[in-house]
Each structure stands twice: as structure tokens, then as C-alpha cells.
């Protein structure tokens, strides 16, 4: 456009030069002057036409940019709208996103932005755990530490003065041992791509750190409840498989089953004992009726209104990591009675949280790691409850 303006200036200068010659010179070729002026007029007309078209193009471009910005703002508002949440729900069911929302897709691996209201609901559901982990004994010693154990091999003996004088006092043995803890690594990392960081909702990235922490805690509790001891803590249900005391329920549950569970708990271990089971198992036991058709188990509420499950006065702790009664086979352990403080979870390395960016991909990664092991340190009060 600048060059065109310079050409216009040159044409005007030439016109002024011709006018000056007409005023000062007498022997001019007027036909030649007229031809030159016609040429200049034609060139000027063409240049002005090009300038006009260029200005129109710029104005049109500005209008298009404003339109794009307006559409983008409208789309950002749509992400929080009921219409988009409904469209996303349909996407979750069918895999198809409505045409008007496809422009907010993130990358090839992400077909749609998760609306913030739906994201918050998902995170809330992931947090529905943690009934067992707060109850067990927790330590933070280096790997390889041991807890000593001991027991008496015999009771004290009643005797007489004469026997003491002649045979003396028998000396009993005290058997000692120890439980040694290892250090198994538990790791979790979640990443968000560079493209997603630029285009996704800010809430999505903000929740990644929380997702990592939640994932670590869930895995830790699952190991405490049902870990097999191979590369992870030995869980309570695994420890119960070798418990000295077990109760087998009747195929058709009866009130006598509840009594047998209560009777099986050693008297010295009843204080602080709880029944650990899946909620579905509890409701199977809850459905047992007395001779008057009234439920035996009770579901009371604490001062906050939260349900408090008990069976014959013994608190019930429910966890999704215990086997479901309906899915368990005959002879499977479906519940365990224990004192939670007799299970020790040792954290040789407390969970950390590191955030870094991969150089090659520029992906931001949230990573956490811990070292832990867990075992029952006193199995004398452990009672395995098996499906009949």
C-alpha cells in the first residue's frame, strides 16, 4: 500500500511539471502533452482502485477477527452452560459431541473439554474412601525396623510349701520373636499435554495434583484392607486367612450367626474391636430378623447425622475393598473382626509431590511416591468370618 501511495505522488508531481511547461513554454507539442496526461490519468485511476480494494480487504479482515473473538467468548460461556453439560453427558454415553461444541476439542487424545461442574462431581466421587486408613496404627521408621512379640508357654502353677522345698519352682519359657517391615514403593503420575494446557479449562489442570494424592491414598487403603503382601503391604483380609479363630456363617443367615461372631471375639480384645466388611455384606446381616420380624442389626446416627453401623453393639466399618457377600464363594472370608490399632502401617518414606515439565513434549507431570509396608502386629484378636 505504501508503494501505491508513492506512485500517486509521482503522478501528481508529473502533472504539476506539465502545467508549469504549458505556462512558460510556447513551442510545445500539445498532442504529445495530451497523450501523456491521459496516460497519467489512467495510471492514477488504477492505483486508486487498488487502494480502495486494499482498504476494503483490511476492514473485512478486522470484521472477521472481531467475529472470531465474539464466537470464542460465546463458546467459553457455553462450557459452563446447561446445554454443554447435557451435550457432554451425551458424549460420555455415545462418544459423539454436538457439532456446535466440537471446536473446543483439545487434541487427538481428547475429544471434549470436561465442563467444570461435571469435573467437580467426578472428583467428589473419587474422594468417597478413607474409612479404614485413619483407624490403623501408623509409624514412620526406616525400612527393616522390627516390632518384638512374645508370649508365655504356660500358666502359673498352684503348688504347696513342701513341693517348693523338694522339687522347686518350675521355670517356664518365654517365646520371643519379631515382625519386620519392608519398604514397598507406591507411585503415581498424571500428566497434561502442552496443547491441553493451552486450550483446556483451568480447573482441569488445577485438579490433577488432587487426583494424584487421592489415587495414592486409595491404593494405600486398598493394600491395608486386601493387599497380598507381594510388593505391597499384607492386608487385613490376607492376615485373617491364617487367624486362629474363624466363624462360618449358615447358608441361610440366622440370628445365631451374629451371636457366634460376638462369641468368637476374645474377651480381652472386645474393647475397641470392629467388624470390617463390605457394605453389601453388612446389609445381608442387617436383613436378619428376630422372631417378631424386627431387624437385628441397627443403623443409628451420630450427632452429625451420619449413619453408624453396629451388630450387637460392635461397630461395623464398611469398605469397598472387602469382598461382596453375593459375589463371594462358600468358604471365602467376607468380614473380619479386629482391633484396628493392632494393624501397623509403616511409612519408610512419606508421600511427596513433584511437578515437572518434560523437555521434549512440554507436558506438565504431577508425580508422587512413597515407601510403605503394613502387617498385623497382634493377630490374637483377629476373627475371620466366612460365607457358609
pLDDT tens-digit series, residues 114-123: 454 544 443 4
Q: Is the pLDDT of residue 263 over 90?
A: yes
Mean pLDDT computed over 65-77: 61
Q: What is the structure's pLDDT at 38?
A: 80
Residue pair 191/204 in contact by the 8 Å Cβ criterion: no
Round the CA-based radius of gyration of the chain to a whole number and report it. 41
Which pLDDT score is estimated for 227? Answer: 93
pLDDT greater at residue 176 or residue 230: 230
Q: What is the pLDDT of residue 125?
A: 44
H/E element holding 336?
A: strand 333-338
Residue 177 pLDDT = 76
CA atoms of 116 and 339, how far apart (whole Å): 42
pLDDT at 110: 47
pLDDT at 87: 66
Which tops the pLDDT comparison, 65 or 387? 387
pLDDT, tens only, 283-342: 888 888 777 777 766 667 778 777 778 888 899 999 999 999 999 999 999 999 999 999
Residue 189's H or E segment, with its range, is strand 184-192
Chain-centroid distance of CA 167 in Å reads 69
**What is the distance between the alpha carbons of residues 240 and 98, in angstroms, rounded to a whole number?**
52
Number of H helices, E strands in the chain: 11, 14
pLDDT in tens, 199-212: 445 555 556 667 77
- Residue 122 dihedral angles phi and psi, to the nearest 5°: -60, -45
Cell numbers given for 82: 446447561
CA 114 – CA 99 distance, rounded (Å): 16
pLDDT at 329: 94
What's the chain's average pLDDT? 77
Looking at residue 370, what is its pLDDT? 85
**Average pLDDT value for residue range 61-76:** 62
145 Cα distance to chain centroid: 32
Question: Rounded CA gap, 176 and 171, in Å?
Answer: 16
First-to-last CA distance in the chain? Answer: 92
Q: Report yes or no: 328 and 387 within 8 Å, Cβ to Cβ.
A: yes
- Give the pLDDT of residue 186: 86
Q: What is the pLDDT of residues 14-48, one digit of tens each?
A: 877 777 777 777 777 777 777 887 888 888 888 77
Q: What cell was used for 141? A: 521408621
Amino acid at each position: 500500500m505504501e508503494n501505491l501511495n508513492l506512485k500517486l505522488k509521482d503522478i501528481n508531481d508529473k502533472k504539476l511539471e506539465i502545467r508549469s511547461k504549458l505556462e512558460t513554454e510556447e513551442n510545445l507539442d500539445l498532442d504529445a502533452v495530451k497523450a501523456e496526461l491521459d496516460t497519467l490519468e489512467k495510471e492514477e485511476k488504477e492505483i486508486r482502485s487498488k487502494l480502495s480494494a486494499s482498504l476494503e480487504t483490511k476492514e473485512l479482515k478486522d470484521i472477521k477477527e472481531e467475529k472470531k473473538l465474539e464466537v470464542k467468548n460465546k463458546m467459553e460461556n457455553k462450557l459452563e452452560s446447561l446445554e454443554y453439560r447435557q451435550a457432554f453427558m451425551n458424549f460420555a454415553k455415545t462418544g459423539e459431541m454436538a457439532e456446535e461444541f466440537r471446536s473446543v476439542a483439545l487434541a487427538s487424545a481428547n475429544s471434549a473439554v470436561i465442563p467444570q461442574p461435571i469435573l467437580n462431581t467426578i472428583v467428589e466421587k473419587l474422594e468417597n474412601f478413607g474409612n479404614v486408613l485413619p483407624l490403623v496404627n501408623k509409624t514412620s521408621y526406616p525400612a527393616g525396623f522390627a516390632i518384638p512379640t512374645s508370649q508365655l508357654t504356660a500358666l502359673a502353677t498352684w503348688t504347696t510349701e513342701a513341693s517348693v522345698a523338694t522339687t522347686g519352682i518350675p521355670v517356664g519359657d518365654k517365646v520371643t520373636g519379631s515382625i519386620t517391615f519392608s519398604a514397598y514403593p507406591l507411585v503415581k503420575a498424571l500428566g497434561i499435554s502442552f496443547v491441553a494446557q493451552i486450550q483446556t479449562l483451568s480447573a482441569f489442570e488445577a485438579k490433577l495434583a488432587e487426583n494424584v494424592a487421592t489415587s495414592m491414598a486409595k491404593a494405600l487403603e486398598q493394600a491395608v484392607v486386601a493387599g497380598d503382601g507381594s510388593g505391597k503391604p499384607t492386608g487385613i483380609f490376607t492376615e485373617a486367612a491364617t487367624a486362629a479363630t474363624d466363624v462360618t456363617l449358615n447358608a441361610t443367615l440366622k440370628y445365631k450367626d451374629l451371636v457366634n461372631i460376638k462369641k468368637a471375639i476374645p474377651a480381652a480384645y472386645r474393647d475397641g474391636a470392629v467388624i470390617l466388611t463390605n457394605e453389601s455384606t453388612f446389609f445381608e446381616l442387617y436383613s436378619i430378623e428376630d422372631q417378631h420380624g424386627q431387624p437385628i442389626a441397627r443403623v443409628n446416627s451420630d450427632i452429625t447425622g451420619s449413619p453408624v453401623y453396629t451388630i450387637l453393639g460392635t461397630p461395623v466399618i464398611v469398605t469397598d475393598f472387602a469382598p461382596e457377600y453375593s459375589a463371594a464363594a462358600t468358604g471365602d472370608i467376607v468380614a473380619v473382626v479386629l482391633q484396628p490399632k493392632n494393624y501397623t502401617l509403616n511409612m519408610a518414606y512419606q508421600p511427596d509431590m513433584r511437578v515437572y515439565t518434560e523437555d521434549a513434549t512440554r507436558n506438565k507431570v504431577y508425580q508422587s511416591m512413597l515407601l510403605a509396608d503394613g502387617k498385623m502386629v497382634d493377630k490374637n484378636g483377629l476373627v475371620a468370618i466366612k460365607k457358609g
